Amino acid sequence: MDNQKLSAENYPQISANALRPTYIEVNLSALSSNFDAIKKRAGKSKIMPILKANAYGHGLVKVAQYMENLGADYLGVAFLEEGILLRESGVKMPILVLGGILGNQIPLFIENDLTLTASSIEKLNLIDEAAENLKAKAKVHLKIDTGMERIGVHYYNANKFIEKAFGYKNIIVEGVFSHFADSASSDLTHTYLQLERFNDALNFARKSGFEIPLKHISNSGGILQLPEADFDLVRPGILLFGVYPSAEVKRTVPVTPALTWKSRVVYFKVIKPNHPVGYGMIWKSDKQIRAVTIPVGYGDGYFRSMTGKAEVLLNGKKYPVIGRISMDQIVVNIEGDSAFNNDEVVLIGRQGKEEISVADLAEWAGTVPYEILTNINTRVPRVYLR
């Protein structure tokens, strides 16, 4: 496999020789160079890699361990269970859980040394009570909603929220943050409005004498387009993995895709004219063609909605996927060309001079690059290359 050895360390559940022919390669060197490029761009700001949704499909535990070794300052995840998994896997660095919380979850946050997102005074009350019961201190980041309307105290109520937060005996206010709704757009009007609202809240905290070590709002789009929003910490998500968050965003940080999605030919056949291919019989040729079957489908996250649009790379050339994409298999039209069982097929990545990008799949599926990456199923093995 491109002179790289599959390691049992990567797949304790299966032997390397039995590895499924559809798999993901994660290039750790690309992750490292992307991290360095973001760090250079962010200057003195700390870096919090966002590793939610299985690290954007790249593998939560392995990527978290690698980020810890690279010297990231903090990690961000979406849910409690992601944070607990990292702790159980030996990750010791600070972890902020960005999502909303329920009261009965709070003791688990404290017991696993996970930082909570405090999104209301009610949540602060519950956090303080749980910490007191455990005779511990709870670390929180206060969430200010500056224009996203998900979780967090509205910016126009932020002053009271901040003032209240510093009055609890069992809570350490480690940070305050917000989230940009549209920072990867070419029109940054709303983004600058959010930044202004966030700055107003920070100014109140400063004038009131409240010391907040970590102030942060900048996601991947913010890192690329609003250096004035860096504050104490930036939160790269999809950018860390070498994918730009939109087609219109300014590409001020050079990054390289870390993920390649590969498979192999498992069947070759000749299809006669007027013989339909796949479910629903929506495709047939008026001439004889050669076709290969690839063991990947929408059960892996290769979206059914790409039917009639998707292409793959085989022997350095692009070929169309024909018929409906099914759960576990696709059929590729290679016209009059030749292919053999076990030939490498690239679904995302480069082969020879050709490339199929995450953005290509997003366009074919009518979605965004984020959804392509985060929907690659966990039944697709991950191989980590250094």
Residues annotated as catalytic (active site), given as ranges:
52, 279
Residue that is written with structure tokens 């939160």 in the block: 235
Rounded (5°) CA angle 274-279-282 = 45
Looking at the chain, list the stretches that DSSP marks H as alpha helix, in order from N- to C-terminal side. 28-42, 52-56, 60-70, 80-88, 106-111, 121-133, 158-165, 189-207, 220-225, 358-365, 369-374
Phi/psi for 323 (5° steps) reads 70, 175
Contact 275, 310 (CB under 8 A): no
Note the Cα 46 to chain centre separation in Å.
19
> How far is Cα 354 from Cα 350, in angstroms, rounded to an integer?
6
Q: How far is CA 296 from CA 39, 248, 341, 347, 362, in A?
A: 36, 31, 15, 9, 17
Instruction: Indicate the pairing of strand 171-177 with strand 138-145.
Output: parallel
Is the C-alpha dihedral spanning 188, 194, 197, 203 positive or negative?
Answer: negative
Helices (H) and strands (E) in the chain, counts: 11, 19
Angle subtended by helix axes 158-165 and 189-207, to nearest 10: 40
| CB burial readout 42-59, b (16+ within 10 A) else e | beebbbbbbbbbbbbbbb
Contact 258, 27 (CB under 8 A): yes
Three-state secondary structure call for residue 83: helix
